[in-house]
Structure 1
Amino acid sequence: MSQSDYTLVLPAFTIGVHAYDAIGKITWHFGKKVVIIGGKTALEKAKQPLLDAIAKTDLQVLGVLWYGDDATYEHVDRLLREQAVQDADLIFGVGGGRAIDTCKVVADRADKALFAFPTLASNCAPSTALAVMYKADKSFAGYYYLNQPPVHTFINMAIIADSPFKFFWAGIGDAMSKECESELASRAAEHFHTVLLGRAIGKACTAPLLQYGEQALDDFKANKITYALQQVVLDIIISTGLVSNCTTGGSEYYYNSSLAHMFYNASTVLPQVVEGHLHGEIVAFGVLVLLTYDKQFELRDQVAALYKKCQYPTTLADLDIKADEVDSIVDAAPALTEWTCVPEPMTKEVFKKAIMDADEFGRSL
């Protein structure tokens, strides 16, 4: 890293069934006027609890807006034209990753303070200084880098536990990538303080998923808010977010993802994949691709054992990808950020072999 002056802002959070009760004491010095932006289902679940909590403060709600149907710049531009957004001091972003990522870009461009209210435990978007943006056709558009993550993330466990099971299930698949990706991407890098910190926190990401993942999924299905469930929710939203913030340095460095997300981002060229499968579900198979490439076979066996118990994809067929479509994925990969997030130069042949070998392994299970 060339410069000695830099700022690192790490996520702050409140978690629990009464998490929204902390809104007043966290937001008081950022202003009074709030606009709430979120997904339709998310707002159905969280709007009233949010309004009830806000009523106990001196905050004023200027509007409740739908973010759109995806994290696109078209929706960002539309929201920036809203009077409530222009007049607000604070933006409350409510929903899943794409809703909150949209709110991040809106808040950044409008120079407003953003607070995140995840209604799903599906990824680390509520705590990262990065937005994943898409084109109108659902294909990957690129990353939008911010100077800091949301000011504070409020994780209401009652709302999380009442969300669709499939998103929590996919969230575990997405979180499974964080340790192995950040370690691989930064392996040959200069390990200065912030990267060292990210690598150390990364070691707290995989083990809890292997230890508590199956139990947390069972508890979630039973709508029981348990210790195991909360450990996994914190892993998905906060632990991975901490790693992301330590391993993403904008134009200076990027060690936040590697082959697992390269597989996901490249696979968005196949309509049946992106339309029929969830982000974390696809990334989960990408983890097997990475571990195969990196010859981490012992860890791959442990991860695959959880996958088989909990119905995660272990083959290309599980993602509706035919063998003759793999070249399309491989051809899309060199244009992606992750192409260089490996210690040795990547080639299409090496990436394709890792995919096909991971598929062969999965079919042998």
Structure 2
Amino acid sequence: MLGGDRSDSPPNTAKYTELEGETMTQHSTGLRSLMSPGRYVQGRGALTELGTHVARHGERPLLVADNQVRELTEEPIRTSFEAAGLPVLFETFGGVPSRVESERIAARLRDHGADVVVGVGGGAPIDTAKAAGDDLGVPRISVPTVASTDAPTSALSVVYTEAGAFESYRFYDRNPDVVVLDTELVAKAPTHFLIAGVGDALATWIEARAVSRGDGTTMIGDRATRAGTALAKLSWDILWESALPAVRAVEHNLVTPAVEAVAEANTLLSGLGFESGGLAAAHAIHDGLTAVPHTHALAHGQKVNIGSIAQLVLEGAPSSEIEEFIRFTARVGLPTTLTEAGLGDATEDVLRTVAEAATAPSETIHNLPFAVTVTDVVDALGAVEVLGQQARDEAGLPRAQAPISHG
């Protein structure tokens, strides 16, 4: 089988329900760290309390959001801010979380004398707001309107080029001061956002587990704490239990316990788990996929899911585990083949471009407990297509079509 078995494979359970103590290098005396936002608030109607939380950190906030998100959120934000005695000032997000855009937002903060920045929307405006706030040294508040990534809680931003390709990670000395997630907004958002968040969050345990088994480090260069690794595992467990009913609920704009659970797993637990547990191949391969135009229609979490399958292949995980992961994520609505990612007809040169970017010296793929070459990644990507189609066939799922869009 293309999945194969390695002598260091995980226990033979598709859901990775155990983390054996001897696989974790907790005997190391190296520094370990756990990072988290100052406060996390989640629930139906949480947006109506935003003014109270912002007022604890500043008197002249600047809100960063695109026009669609502003239209969706301005009324409750305005009511909340007026109750807290705060002015309401929006700046329109330009669309790409690039260095140029964060510098522009920083200039607007300076022009308005803002003493706190509030990123509202998805991961892109929130990452940009964090970068601009860091430039000026003002508090940063995240207000995700979707549960599509774990960016709202993290002390880093993903920086893209103007063309939409991954450029670098930008790290900060602290996480956002407050994260406010209104699950009514999550339930009313298009379902593909929640699905993408599931893809991003499922990778958290796959990667943290790999880091814990070797000499890898977290996003700030320290070793993982047991807490960080355990939170990554908790995110995974919640998603296997609740992702499918949560997706069904959001299809009907319903806030249910499953939606609350998945929103927390996608946003808080995944954020804590990846930052304090470490990243490995799944996100590095995501970064590689952004280097080619074929995948630009996909959301972050959709590309990450391709990376998760490729990492399992690279690890030599038992075929049964890879197949069950593919079947589960396909049922959730995530891409599980290169075809769905727009790479079904890609030449080897295109895949090599992806692999070269994924294995760049600074990439997190080197947190795996074994060396990985460009050719290894090219072959793993090829295996994703074969295994993805095979698992779909055996489960009676429709054949993959090209490509899945995030819109």
Q: Does 1:334 align with 2:355?
A: no
Does 123-132 or 20-29 show the bigger shift? 20-29
Q: How does 1:267-346 map to 2 (within 5 A)?
A: 267-274=289-296, 276-297=297-318, 298-321=320-343, 322-324=345-347, 325-335=350-360, 336-346=362-372
Kindly provide the amino acid, as one letter, of the partner of residue 162 in structure 1. K
Distance in 2 of aligned mates of 1:218 and 1:114: 33
Distance in 1 of aligned mates of 2:111 and 2:185: 25
- The answer as to whether partners of 1:67 and 1:103 remain within 8 angstroms in 2 is no
Counterpart position of 1:149: 175
Per the TM alignment, residue 31 of structure 1 is displaced from its structure 2 partner at its CA by 2.4
- The answer as to whether partners of 2:282 and 2:365 remain within 8 angstroms in 1 is no
Counterpart position of 1:111: 137
Unaligned runs of 5+ in 1: 248-254
- The answer as to whether partners of 1:11 and 1:127 remain within 8 angstroms in 2 is no
Which structure is richer in relative contact order (CA contacts within 8 A, separation 6 or more)? Answer: 2
Which TM-score applies when normalising by structure 2? 0.82
Task: Name the CA shift for 1:207/1:272 in 2 (closer, same or farther; >3 Å).
Answer: same
Counterpart position of 1:240: 270
Give the helix-richer structure, 1 or 2.
1
Per the TM alignment, residue 195 of structure 1 is displaced from its structure 2 partner at its CA by 2.6
Distance in 2 of aligned mates of 1:3 and 1:49: 47
- The answer as to whether partners of 1:93 and 1:116 remain within 8 angstroms in 2 is yes
Per the TM alignment, residue 301 of structure 1 is displaced from its structure 2 partner at its CA by 2.8
- The answer as to whether partners of 2:211 and 2:280 remain within 8 angstroms in 1 is yes
Distance in 2 of aligned mates of 1:129 and 1:160: 23
Per the TM alignment, residue 3 of structure 1 is displaced from its structure 2 partner at its CA by 8.1
Unaligned runs of 5+ in 2: 1-27, 392-407
Distance in 2 of aligned mates of 1:345 and 1:85: 49
How many aligned positions are there? 355
Structure 2 counterpart of 1:206, from 236, 244, 264? 236
1:174-228 CA distances to partner (integer Å, 9 max, x unpaired)?
A: 1111111122134213898853221111110212111111111100001110001
Counterpart position of 2:99: 73
Distance in 1 of aligned mates of 2:261 and 2:309: 23
Distance in 2 of aligned mates of 1:115 and 1:10: 9
Which TM-score applies when normalising by structure 1? 0.90
Counterpart position of 1:55: 82
1:92-138 CA distances to partner (integer Å, 9 max, x unpaired)?
A: 11010011000000001111111111011100011011100100111
Counterpart position of 1:18: 45
Task: Name the CA shift for 1:88/1:260 in 2 (closer, same or farther; >3 Å).
Answer: same
Distance in 1 of aligned mates of 2:389 and 2:109: 54
SS at match of 2:368: coil
Per the TM alignment, residue 67 of structure 1 is displaced from its structure 2 partner at its CA by 1.8
Distance in 1 of aligned mates of 2:33 and 2:333: 43
Task: Name the CA shift for 1:43/1:231 in 2 (closer, same or farther; >3 Å).
Answer: same
SS at match of 1:15: strand
Counterpart position of 1:250: none
Counterpart position of 1:45: 72
Distance in 1 of aligned mates of 2:50 and 2:290: 37
SS at match of 1:81: helix
Structure 2 counterpart of 1:82, from 108, 111, 132? 108
1:26-56 CA distances to partner (integer Å, 9 max, x unpaired)?
A: 3444221111111222111112111111111
Distance in 2 of aligned mates of 1:7 and 1:214: 30
SS at match of 1:30: coil
